[in-house]
Amino acid sequence: MGHLDPETEPLDLTVEGARRILAHVQAEWPLEACGLLGGIGRRVLAVYPTRNELASPVRYRVHPEDLIRVIQELERQGWELVGIYHSHPHGPPAPSATDVAEAYYPEAVYVIAAPVHGEWRLRAFRIASGAVREVPIRLVE
Ligand SMILES: [Zn+2]
């Protein structure tokens, strides 16, 4: 992993994983939904929907009980926290100022789901030291 450029290495997400994220964020609309992505490197092997502790249309915080449960599951599987996803129920599919300020996991990929012209989109970003860089999403089988 060490030689790969973290700025350009894509996030590998299965079609089924993308469907799970989109089903979750659509079910929670008009509130923000959030969840965690487990796997290895930039390869997502499991999607974990979590509760938004803030139950808000404009903010999210992964419920601490869910965070602990998922971290324990990742340890059991020998996986890492690859990413964190959340929705922007009213767009846009890009990190907000709050998302940048509260990005506590610089190694994680932040996936944002938002409706664009009525169709839900997923985009991924790396947020480190206040800098935002888009990470391409590669849909895999
Ligand atoms: Zn956000």
- Is 32 known to be catalytic? yes
Q: 64 CA distance to ligand 1 centroid (A)?
A: 18
Strand order in the sheet with 119-128: 131-135, 119-128, 109-116, 80-87, 34-40, 43-50, 11-14, 137-140
Task: Give me the chain's average pLDDT, please.
Answer: 94
Q: 99 CA distance to ligand 1 centroid (A)?
A: 5
Q: Establish if 24 belongs to a structural domain.
A: yes
pLDDT digits (tens, 9 = 90+) for 74-128: 999 999 999 999 999 999 999 999 999 999 998 999 999 999 999 999 999 999 9
Q: 60 CA distance to ligand 1 centroid (A)?
A: 7
Q: Which residue segment(s) compose the domain that 85 sits in?
A: 11-140
Q: Establish if 20 belongs to a structural domain.
A: yes
* pTM metric for this prediction: 0.94
pLDDT digits (tens, 9 = 90+) for 64-84: 999 999 999 999 999 999 999
Q: How many domains is the chain built from?
A: 1
**Percent of the residues in the chain that have a pLDDT greater than 70, as a whole number:** 95
Q: Establish if 129 belongs to a structural domain.
A: yes
- Which member of 7, 9, 28, 32 is catalytic? 32
Q: 111 CA distance to ligand 1 centroid (A)?
A: 9
